[in-house]
Amino acid sequence: MKRLFDFSTSLIGLIVLFPIFIIVSVLIKIYSEGPVFFVQKRIGRNGKIFQMIKFRSMTVIQSSNSTISVKGDIRITKIGAFLRKFKLDELPELWNVLKGDMSLVGPRPDVCGYADNLIGEDRKILELRPGITGVASLKYYDEEKVLATQDNPLKFNDEVIYPDKVRLNLDYYYNNNLWIDIKIIFATIFRVNY
């Protein structure tokens, strides 16, 4: 049922939102050099690596190897800051949902070095398709802003935020259903508490 819901909703979303895709693509090309899309390897269901697609929100030439970004990061373009604020950079992930690499709701797909290092019961999270949004995404909607207040953003992410996300995602693993997914989707769209 979940896969059917994901497939049909992502297909409808891609069709309905196509004009927005065109507008965003044009704005990205006008305000920054480089490709419209950003493609990155992420850890998917059962630890399988897949290519996640997003609208590019950062400069192409990056002098940082950091896997996290903070509010005010100089790599983020002007149009990228707007896209990130309203999560519009995530819209192309509907293609990943349509293909079956992702779900509308689930744990966010991590870069190599995080989810692939989960141990014990925490590895159950990898049995889920990663999602565009989820319980942890709602709680940490302003994660970049939180990280910007830290002296060591990477350490704070690794020691505080990421373990909490794992806990939230494990709870979702044990308690998810279609009704909860719908509530999370609406909470994400309307920016309300879940």
**Distance in angstroms (rounded) separating the CA atoms of residues 5 and 83:** 26
Does the model's pTM come out above 0.85? yes
Residue ranges of the domains in the chain?
Answer: 2-190
Tokens of 37: 């899309």
User: pLDDT tens for residues 39-51?
Assistant: 999 999 999 999 9
User: pLDDT tens for residues 31-78?
Assistant: 999 999 999 999 999 999 999 999 999 998 654 555 667 776 788 999
Give the type of residue at 188. Answer: T
